[in-house]
Structure 1
Amino acid sequence: MRTVQRQAGPVCLDQQPPHQDWGAFIGTACHVTLATSLRMEQLGLCCYCESEVAENDGHIEHMEPRSRNQTRIYDYANLAISCNGGAVEHCGHYKDDRKKNPKHAWDAARFSGPHDPATTSLFCYLPNGAITPTTSDPAKANYLIGYLGLDCPRLNERRKQHARDLIDTLGDQPDSALVNWLRQEYLQIAPDGHLRQFHSLSKAILET
């Protein structure tokens, strides 16, 4: 996970009835505004796996599940854009699906969200597509990897291909001009306000 810089949420979110069912909110003008705001805030990436999330893809994610805390349903600090995780293999839809993910459940003491600057230091991304804990807090990192499915085969393979493309482009002896160009392309925000997918993995390869 990369660190997401929080911004102010849309005013319309604060105007929602506190006990309104989330299903009644979906499809409203405010829901659309909220999704746009979150997607812009996250620079077009999933809050968990850093996949690109197009406007017609993904969903608004409650980091602390609605079933656990009804008072945070319309709390902007609890909301983010998550990808749909393929066939529910990772990220928002996966984390609280007890059939898909029977071994992990919400644990407030171990959950660390993408808006916490300390979260990014929990993980190390390898060129073979793997995500592993750093020495910062291995127990918390392993919990998040399992709870969010960040080590599922689908994600590992996609990260592996991404890393391979970058490494092949770099070659054995990359010159500084090429490295600078790749850093601009893969690490900087594009004119449309988005980042390229797997930003943390790109950073691990290009800034070593």
Structure 2
Amino acid sequence: MSLVRLNIKGISYSQTQNGAYALILSEVDGERKLPIVIGAFEAQSIAIALEKEIKPPRPLTHDLFKNFSDRFEIVVKQVIIHKLVDGVFYSSLICERDKIEEIIDARTSDAIALALRFNAPIFTYKNILDKAGIFLKGESGTMTPTPAQEESRVDEILADSGKNRDVNFKKMSLDELETLLDQAVKSEDYEKAARLRDEISKRNK
């Protein structure tokens, strides 16, 4: 399968869903965009890495990983978004130390936050881009949408990803909540997992 190189186009914040962000990646030799829903912490970490002038007074988690890696001469050579299952992207860090290459599993948001800090290229497979890539178009069908049109399209993506957010957990049994919690953790939907954990904690008081 052929790899497609991606650039980071930016981060969009949902105008309708509080705390929802989408990281927009664009293919280097094409017009498609790959939107990836990320959490607030990861959005902040990526935004700080994009804005080179911003220096946190203390290292963030991804900065700490970079400092640790530098100290022990570990280099992140590239990031590959290698799988898409049920709307969840899976990524790998291709690392090297002493000319020995290792592949480390990572959440895509973490992998990209680290790629920025290591100036490492980001890739995905063509079949993933064919499946999840989108074209952001303007009203005339051109490839240059206005910021408002782009925000509206990203909002639709975030809304689709959050259709299950408003499930009424109060009507569910404790066993159903526990099952949903396991599923949320496996699918890396940690925001939903946190809400489920809170509901379970209330029941167990």
Do they fold alike, i.e. is TM over 0.5? no
Could you say which structure has the larger radius of gyration?
A: 2
TM-score normalised by L of structure 1? 0.32
Q: Report the structure, 1 or 2, having the larger strand content.
A: 2
